[in-house]
Structure formats: structure tokens, C-alpha cells
A and B are shown apart, each in its own frame.
Chain A
Amino acid sequence: MAEVNPAEVSAILKKQLSGFEAEASLDEVGTVLTVGDGIANVYGLANVQYGELVQFEGGLEGIVLNLEEDNVGVVLLGPYRQVREGSVVKRTQRIASIKVGEGIVGRVVDTLGNPIDGKGAIEGETYEMPLERKAPGVIYREPVTEPLQTGIKSIDAMVPVGRGQRELVIGDRQTGKTTVCIDTILNQKEFYDAGEPVYCIYVAIGQKASTVAGIAKVLEDKGALAYTTIVAANASDPAPMQVYAPFAGAAIGEFFRDTGRPALIVFDDLSKQAVAYREVSLLLRRPPGREAYPGDVFFLHSRLLERAAKIIDNDDIAKEMNDLPDVLKDKVKGGGSLTALPLIETQAGDVSAYIPTNVISITDGQIFLTSDLFNSGVRPAINVGISVSRVGGNAQIKSMKKVAGTLKLDQAQFRELEAFAKFGSDLDPATLSVIEKGKRNVEILKQGQNDPYPVENQIAIIFAGSKNLLRDVPVDKIREFEKDYLEYLDAKHRDTLDTLKSGKLTDEVTDTLTSVAKELSAKYKNKE
């Protein structure tokens, strides 16, 4: 065991005791009638509000979810072994909320905002943000125009995501949904280093604690924890904790959004949250509907995802925003955004199940990941044919838009002709060229795990692909070529890449890219 420094111990004890009050308390109370399955029925608490936190003996908290004539239904947010029939329940006069401040960045917290990473209390000033909050109204919003770079070539090129957008990531188990989102978080390091961080929130719902610990480790190792908060409601936590975890994440995101900064939130995943919500609802004896989900499961997701928004870039209007918590009122700034990447797990590719169709209809587009592609080695396994981004097009930077404009169409054509190629019949040169180009583009869009690409590199390589400059490079050498090509550009033509990054695609730039691609591809041709 490590040596314990007595001075340190006293400091910690002092810190813990600093908030301790030994005064008498006057509370409104009720009595537990029944308790079980994570639900307590409480007699009394006549003035309690819907959604209010109540406290049981022993400090356990619960949220009031059913107000009935002579009793209230409370969902319990923790182990309820100490709660017995007849125990006293106190009102806290506090609507379920989470304490958020600058200090929450880099931490792992639970649904109620308590740190669970063992790094001590959240430091600095904190603000009480309600878990359930109305989404900003129309007047306080702006169209999505700014890109949120995911660092994944196929997404940034073909299904671009803008700041303030809600883009669904959907697919079977083991298709790389989490990886796509973690890579997106890693890619925000560029902006963090540039001093304009996109604050990331990763909400883990119903996952193994070891998985969450693994993700925290990856983020820490890659330097991404410096701008990321993890909200974890693990599989071992009670269902209500899992139901409210995304709301806690959204409350954290709103803190950054309403103080004029961009934020990104990943809900991993909402299918598990829906299952947890079904559990809670059934235990509260609410009538089941389709697939036994309660009637308001659509509202559960729509009110959550509606909180993702791009706030108008005008401080005066933003200050008037609806439903602002009082503590935040004098800190409000315009121009912030909250981008949401909800994840949904499908069963055997069935997107017509209840929850997937709901969330598809709520979001501004979806990224489909399929196991066929994943198993055939196309990773990230994004099926671009059925992936769309309904608003992201306006958010793409100009140079990317020009270069990648035809890529989606090219790939669609390629997939149509690919079937013919499998017959091995003689093909005319035009068809053959489409197929060869398509194969190379597929290769270009492959990408390693935890290896996001800066946007200028993406544009450069996609330019080479879509202009068919790689026809001389064998398909299995594309990855190698890509590496050489980007390294060469970075070393010799940094200014060209910088121009691309600023969104311009001048003739000079295209000439440079073309000549470099030709020069390097000639090298690969000779090798054969």
C-alpha cells in the first residue's frame, strides 16, 4: 500500500467536512408504503412536484414520476436495500438537476453529476442545470452552417455533420458505431489545441464498466479527456439512472451551448435507454404499447434530441432564451451549439423496428453501419448509399463540397456496376473505368481506428480519387500511396493544404495536387 501522508488525510477530511451543517431541519415528509423493483410508493408528500428529487433515509435519492390521489410513485436512483416500509421520505424542493461548471471537463460523472473517477470533487464554480429542460424556441436558433469535422473521410465527404445537427449513428452490434463517435471526439483535439475547443460529452448508457473505463483510457491517452466529460450509467446501475443519463449529458452540453461555445454529445446508446425506460414505465404500471414500450417513448427521445441546437449569434436575443436556469442568466452568450450523435443498435439490420424508426424520424439524417461491409474489410463500415445528412450540406467547407460533390454519385454507380463485374464477363472500357475508380475510392475511404484525418488531408486524397488520378496505382497499394501522398504534401506543399483548409480550391491548388498525385502514382506503376 502506498504511504499515507497525514497532512493530506486531514486536508481531505477538512474538505469533506466543510459542507457539513449540524442544524435542525424542517422538511416536508412522507412515508414509504411499498418498495420494490426500484420503485417506491410514498404516502404523504402532498406538495411534491413532478420530477422533484426526494431523499430517503440513508441519503438515497429518487425522482417523483407518478402523482396520484393519495400516493406518489418514486423511482429510486441507487441501491434501495435500506429503504423499508414506513421509512421517512423528504422533499428536497429541487427539480432533478446536475451541477455543471468548467471543472466538469475531463471528469467521469454519474447521472446525478457525482464524480466517479476518484479525482475528488468537481472544482470551481458550479451551476445547477435541470435534467429536463425545454429545447430553445425557433427565435433563438440559427440554421446549421458551421461544420463539425468528424475526421472520418466518408462522413465528412458524403454525410457531413454541422454544428447543432442531430445525426443518428445506427447499425448492428459490432459494426463500429462507438468507434465512429470516439474518433469524432478525438478529432476535436485539433480545435482544442487551436484554443477553440469543441466540448465533448460521451454518455455511456447500460454499458459494461470495463468498456467505459477502456474508453476513458483511450480518450486520456490521446489527450482528448482535456475537453471531454463522460457521463456513465453502467449496466449495473438502476434503470432510472440509465434513463436519465442522456438528460444529464444534455444538461452539461447546454451549459456550454448557452455560454456561447460549441459542444458535441454522444448518446451511446439510446436503444438501451429506451429499454431502461420501458422497465421503469412497466414497473410504474403505465400501459405498454408497441413492443411493450410506453406510449411516450417517442417523446422521450424527441425532447432529448430537440435540445441539440445552434443558438443565434446575437447575445441580446440569446439572453431572452426560454427556460434558462436563473443561475445561468448573466452568463448567456449567443453563437453556441450542441451537436448530438445518438447511437441506435439494430437487431440483424432491422431498421423498421419501433425505436430505430422513431429516432430516424427525429434526427437530421443517419449514418448506417452494416456488418456486411465491416466483415468485408471496409472500415469504418459506413453504407454511404443509405446514409444521409439532411442539413449538413450547408455546413461543409467549400473546398470539400467541390471535391466530394460527385463522390456519392460515383460510388452509387460503382455499386450498381459492381454486380456485373462479378460475372466476369467482358466489360466495355467505360464500365471498367467506373469499376476501377470505384474500387480505389472504396479503398481511399477506409480508415484505421482512432486515426482521424484533418480536413485538408481528406480533401487532398479525395480529390486524387474523384479525379481518377490513381488509376495507375494498384488497389492494394492505395493505402500506401495515400500515406506517401499526404506526407509529401505536408512536407513540400503545406501552403496548398492550408488553402484547402481555409475552404478555397484555386486552380493553383488543383494543379499542385494533380502533379503530386501523378508523380507519386508513376512510382507505384513502375513497381508492378
Chain B
Amino acid sequence: MRAPDKPLASQYQSAAANADPFREGLIEALPALRAFARSLCGKRDVADDLVQETMMKAWQARTRFQPGTNLKAWLFVILRNEFYSSHRRAKTVANFAAIESLKPDGVEAGQHAKLDLADLMRAFNQLAPEQKEALMLTAGEFSYEEAASICGCAVGTIKSRVSRARKHLQQLIEGEAGTLPSRADAREDPTDAFFKTLNRPTMEKPLR
């Protein structure tokens, strides 16, 4: 059992003292798995639950992992399958509180525009899951090729999804402000945004 006074990192190290590369690789992938899950699920607790399900599936299937291949990508495939095969897909709701905290870090978006991260992530939450995953896999740590392999589609498909999703995001943010849940609404009642998300027909469309 873990000692309560030790920092988490050293607990991980001492617990993995008998050098289990699978376990270590799993731990190493956890931050990225959590980030990917949160981008798909929106809500932190739903996302973390998805990551834990992923850990259990991966652990049970560990003998089928081929050492030397990309463990992180393998774990992402499991997480993604868990997401699409479970009820979580319908539970997509943005964690606006966490996103709002990023707001001062808006990035420059050209001569006349400034992109606000909270606006961006509210718009992101409106996208279909296959666009979300294409954006986040490639924004995170994967190449287009790896993202395509994880999603089980062609590289060109990932590229066009990313391109279309970015254009869609820009339209949502600047062109059609009325289609985005307003910031005040989001702060006061996230469940409104939740039901808006549920009512979007694209959310119910199967990926393949």
C-alpha cells in the first residue's frame, strides 16, 4: 500500500521497483490518456473513469501487447474503443470551469483576431467525436500516421477531418456566435450545454 507522505512520483517508482516495463509504460501514458479522455468526455470525472476502465482492459490484455511496439498508441486504441462502445459517448459535457481558468492565455490568431481558449473549447465541445479525436490526437503527441492507425482510418481521412474541424471551429467561434452556448450560460448551468450537446444529431451518428 502506498505511504501517504511520499510524493506520487516516488510512490510510482518504488511500486515499480521490480521493473515491469508494461506497468511503467502505462504510468507514463496516463497524463496523455487523461487529456485525450477529457477532450472526448468533457467532464473530468467521466474522463478519469474512462481512463481507469482503459487501464483495466489494458492490464487484462497485456499479454497481447507486443513489446517494442508503441504502447501509448495501443493504450489510446483501447481508450477509444471503450469510449465508443460505452454510454460515455452520450455524456459529453464540457468542463467549463477548467476551461475558463485557461482564458487569459488566449493565443494570437492573426492581425485582427485574438482567439480565446474558452471560446475555442466551447466550440470544440460542439464537434462530432471523430473530429474531436482527430484534432486532439494530432494536437497532442501523435503524428497524422499514428492518429490514423489509432482511429483505424486512412492518413488522408485524419488530415481532412483536422482541416474540416478547424474550419468548423472558426465558423462556430466567429461567424455563428449564436450557436455557441454563451459564457454566462455555461458558467451558471453546465447541464444546459449538456442537453444541447445531446440534441445535436451528429453526436448520435456512429463513427463507422
A and B held together in a complex:
no
